[in-house]
């Protein structure tokens, strides 16, 4: 039995419905959570200097309980298996791409093509934790024999489910000097204080970038786009390139303003439509960071239902928050920042000209050097993660979990169209061009995109709110101590 299965397969505790906090959490109406959700910033133990509205706390910081943190951790993660409820055939004939997803596991926040590229770091008094994103059989093992409904979970199972995805990367709280350019405005005084718990999202753009290229190049014949580098002028390399360059300057052929990736041979090869171009400068659209905002909203609503304070606000600024340098008093996440190494001297605007946050060694690694040997390998890894034995479409037993009959899953996989070899090869050409030209991948976005916000949860400084604010604005929070029994 795996460690995760062993951790989670014990029978449900007999006192499952005795914890008043859990009981009330699942009784709290969703609509009420939406209507009553507010930003509540001041954590227990914090003071405010605000003229006549000043408050000096007489309390000590009061961290969230392990159960409260466990509920929030689990709410960022997997919830089962996704569904493939889409067409496989085109109305005009031919096959739709039936295999766009990167992952088969469902998550609490929606994600384009189920990329599920967002990872959360949790920051508390004990240190910094990565909340791991599990896939396939590993994810199902983490769910173990738990009941399908969260309301049937015991306190013990919440704790075990959270423990299965927590990976500690630092024994101290994330910490930076409380001045600009690290913190902004009043965040310097009341953000990331002792006793608070923060959730900080980062988005892996490497896998989803490659997957978006594959999807675009799986469009029907005549609609597949030609990719061009709108940061670089046309630089001929092959004989066909030079012929087109000469014809352009002699007025015998159309002007080629940007570098076509794959050269004139790719333009004339028939696989892509040269009149349907996609500039690499649109790479920001290849991020699916919107998924992190869905999850943050879910967390805010759960925090409201629990009766804790929730505050989405600007985090410590990038790139500082990604770095760990005690000599500068930077106690951040410890990302590897790879400087660009283009093969030739070229002009490139940010972020292509800046160090690339490629990952945390052995913990969270992007599909780019130095974690892979080449961009060919990166594309092959995406294909393996989709169609390999443990992949989203390769593990037939896991895929079948969302169907009533396994035969239905088998029928879908039998008819679903994969990416063609031509699409895979052109994707490799594009990725190699980006890395060779700019010395990093991606070039137009970072390997790990930082939305720049975090979500702080805390037990509130209730004396402050009771003194100055309408009780209707913190009604649920006023019930918290009684329901959760934490103080």
Q: What is the pTM of this model?
A: 0.93
Residue 177: what pLDDT? 98
Please answer whether residues 230 and 279 qualify as being in contact, where contact means their C-beta atoms are separated by less than 8 angstroms. Answer: yes
Residues of the chain with pLDDT under 70: 1-18, 283, 285-288, 486-487
Residues in the chain: 487
Residue 16: what pLDDT? 47
Residue 260 host element (H or E): strand 259-260
Residue 486: what pLDDT? 57
Q: How many whole angstroms separate alpha carbon 239 and alpha carbon 358?
A: 36
Q: How many whole angstroms separate alpha carbon 236 and alpha carbon 248?
A: 12
Please answer whether residues 424 and 221 qualify as being in contact, where contact means their C-beta atoms are separated by less than 8 angstroms. Answer: no
Q: How many whole angstroms separate alpha carbon 135 and alpha carbon 83?
A: 15
Distances (CA, A) of 203 to 20, 111, 146, 209, 452: 36, 12, 29, 11, 11
Q: How many whole angstroms separate alpha carbon 277 and alpha carbon 241?
A: 18
273-279/225-229 β-pairing: parallel
Checking 29-37 for CB contacts under 8 A at 24+ apart, the result is 30/301, 33/301, 33/302, 33/304, 33/305, 34/301, 36/304, 36/475, 36/476, 37/300, 37/301, 37/304, 37/310
Residue 18: what pLDDT? 59
Residue ranges of domains in the chain, CATH in brackets: 24-211+287-484 (3.40.109.10), 225-270 (no CATH)
């Amino acid at each position: 039995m795996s460690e995760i299965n062993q951790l989670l397969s014990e029978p449900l505790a007999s006192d499952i419905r005795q914890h008043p906090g859990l009981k009330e959490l699942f009784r709290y109406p969703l609509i009420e959570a939406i209507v009553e959700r507010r930003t509540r910033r001041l954590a227990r133990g914090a003071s405010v200097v605000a003229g006549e509205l000043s408050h000096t706390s007489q309390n000590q910081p009061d961290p969230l309980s392990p159960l409260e943190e466990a509920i929030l951790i689990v709410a960022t993660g997997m919830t089962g298996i996704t569904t493939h409820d889409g067409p496989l055939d085109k109305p005009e004939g031919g096959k739709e791409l039936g295999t766009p997803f990167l992952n088969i596991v469902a998550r609490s926040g929606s994600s384009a093509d189920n990329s599920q590229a967002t990872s959360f770091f949790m920051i508390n008094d004990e240190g910094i934790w990565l909340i791991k994103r599990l896939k396939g059989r590993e994810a199902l093992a983490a769910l173990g024999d738990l009941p399908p409904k969260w309301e049937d979970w015991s306190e013990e199972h919440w704790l075990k489910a959270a423990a299965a995805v927590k990976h500690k990367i630092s024994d101290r709280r994330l910490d930076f000097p409380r001045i600009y350019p690290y913190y902004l405005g009043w965040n310097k005084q009341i953000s990331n204080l002792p006793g608070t718990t923060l959730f900080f999202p980062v988005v892996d753009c490497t896998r989803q970038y490659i997957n978006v290229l594959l999807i675009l190049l799986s469009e029907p014949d005549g609609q597949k786009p030609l990719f061009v580098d709108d940061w670089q002028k046309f630089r001929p390399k092959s004989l066909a390139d030079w012929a087109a360059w000469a014809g352009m300057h002699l007025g015998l052929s159309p002007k080629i303003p940007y570098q076509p990736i794959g050269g004139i041979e790719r333009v004339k090869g028939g696989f892509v439509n040269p009149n349907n171009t996609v500039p690499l400068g649109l790479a920001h659209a290849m991020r699916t960071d919107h998924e992190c905002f869905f999850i943050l909203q879910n967390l805010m609503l759960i925090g409201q239902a629990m009766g804790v304070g929730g505050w989405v606000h600007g985090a410590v600024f990038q790139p500082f928050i990604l770095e760990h340098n005690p000599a500068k008093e930077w106690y951040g996440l410890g990302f590897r920042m790879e400087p660009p190494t283009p093969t030739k001297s070229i002009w490139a605007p940010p972020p292509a000209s800046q160090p690339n946050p490629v990952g945390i060694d052995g913990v969270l690694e992007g599909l780019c050097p130095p974690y892979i040997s080449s961009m060919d390998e990166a594309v092959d890894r995406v294909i393996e993660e989709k169609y390999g034995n443990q992949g989203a479409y390769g593990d037939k037993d896991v895929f079948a979990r969302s169907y009533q009959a396994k035969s239905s899953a088998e029928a879908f996989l039998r008819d679903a169209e994969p990416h063609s070899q031509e699409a895979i090869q052109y994707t490799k050409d594009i990725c190699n061009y980006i890395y060779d030209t700019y010395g990093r991948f991606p070039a137009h976005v970072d390997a790990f995109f930082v939305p720049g916000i975090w979500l702080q949860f805390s037990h509130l400084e209730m004396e402050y709110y009771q003194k100055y604010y309408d009780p209707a604005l913190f009604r649920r929070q006023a019930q918290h101590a009684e329901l959760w029994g934490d103080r």
